[in-house]
Amino acid sequence: MPGDIRGRMTVTLGGFGALLLAVMLVAPLAGTARISLARAFDRSQPFADNVDAQIFFIARLPRVVGAALVGGSLAAAGVVFQALLRNPLAAPETLGVSIGASVGAVLAITLLPDVAIGGISAVPLASFAGSLGALAVVYALATARSRGMSSTVLLLGGVVLTSFLGAMITLIQYLADFSQTFRTVRWLMGSLDVGSYSAIGAALVPLAIAAIGYATLPRALDLLSLGPEAAAARGVDVARAERVALVSASLSTGAAVSLSGPIGFVGIVVPHLVRLIVGAEHRLVLPASALFGAAFLIACDLVARTAFAPLELPVGIVTAMIGGPFFLWLLLRRPR
């Protein structure tokens, strides 16, 4: 069975792809107004008169697509960070990229509350810039030493950066006025209410670059997870692969956080769940995690907006409710 990689890839991608497609079609149907899938896709009446189609495509689908992009990006980034750092407990939050994005967003909310560039609010743009800034710091730190990237330096750098930037967020909130602080607190809770397709379109640019990077990585990640020297001895260009991995994972984390705010646990829970099903090989784990992460976050968001309707929970609470216990179970199952 393990030898037939072609067959396993087909089954895995087909299965997880079908799951995502099903969730994407079903999720927009749920909500306070009941709509039907058949009527939403009914082309016989004009779009302007088709209430079901309007609710499906304008009110709910952007949110579902946003959830898919954010969930898929965070899960894929989690897979890559775990292999890159050779640490199964690494996550998109680990290197400080996520909190860098938060600093950018909090700054924009506080200093540029009403600024928009090209129809897009300054908040996602500043948040994406913040993630790139954090990446630059981490990258400089990891490569400053001549002997290549050290995963220990990366991990420690991420921990230090995260607490440093956390303090900066607290400082900005402390100095800001009440309404701005309220907005930053809500932003930091994370929400998939992305609003429009244009925000999604803007996020697609860095995500597309990350996706190209991801496509070249799986086999190198398999080997890198055995250690950089072992990988080099098997013919991997380690420095290049690590650079592509770090930049791709950071771009997709930054794009995801700028779209939705920080949403925890997806990047760590999904890769592990997927590994339990498909095994360790990254050409299965990476795409399957992206697909499953997308489906998982759509489902969590569905729970968040329907469980206490009309009240809407921050989706991060739902991912934490599922992710926290799962994570503990994982730790108990494999003590390290």
Chain contacts with another protein (rule: CB under 8 A) = 1-3, 5-6, 9, 82-83, 86-88, 215-216, 219, 222-223, 225-227, 229-230, 232-237, 275, 279-281, 283
Task: Give the alpha-carbon dihedral of 255, 84, 99, 328, to 10 degrees.
Answer: 110
Residues paired with 116 in a beta bridge: 121
Using alpha carbons, select from 104, 249, 95 the residue that is nearest to residue 161.
95
24 or 226: CB nearest another protein = 226
213 or 262: CB nearest another protein = 213
Using alpha carbons, select from 269, 287, 265 the residue that is nearest to residue 278.
287
3 or 118: CB nearest another protein = 3
Shortest reach from residue 2's CB to another protein, in Å: 5
Structural contact between residues 103 and 165, judged by C-beta atoms closer than 8 angstroms: yes
111 or 280: CB nearest another protein = 280
Q: Rg of the chain's alpha carbons, rounded to an integer?
A: 20
5 or 159: CB nearest another protein = 5
Instruction: Count the neighbouring beta carbons within 10 Å of the beta carbon of residue 8.
Output: 17
Shortest reach from residue 331's CB to another protein, in Å: 16
Cα–Cα distance for residue pair 194/178, rounded to 1 Å: 24
Shortest reach from residue 250's CB to another protein, in Å: 20
186 or 234: CB nearest another protein = 234
∠ CA(229), CA(230), CA(234), 5° rounding?
110
Shortest reach from residue 272's CB to another protein, in Å: 10
Shortest reach from residue 20's CB to another protein, in Å: 23
Q: Is 137 exposed, middle or buried (0-12, 13-18, 19+ CB in 10 A)?
A: buried
Shortest reach from residue 302's CB to another protein, in Å: 31
Residues paired with 103 in a beta bridge: none
Structural contact between residues 157 and 144, judged by C-beta atoms closer than 8 angstroms: no
175 or 280: CB nearest another protein = 280
Distances (CA, A) of 101 to 28, 95, 242, 281: 28, 12, 22, 30
283 or 305: CB nearest another protein = 283
Cα–Cα distance for residue pair 49/113, rounded to 1 Å: 36
Contacts of 55 (CB under 8 A, 6+ apart): 28, 31, 33, 35, 40
Shortest reach from residue 230's CB to another protein, in Å: 6
Shortest reach from residue 227's CB to another protein, in Å: 7
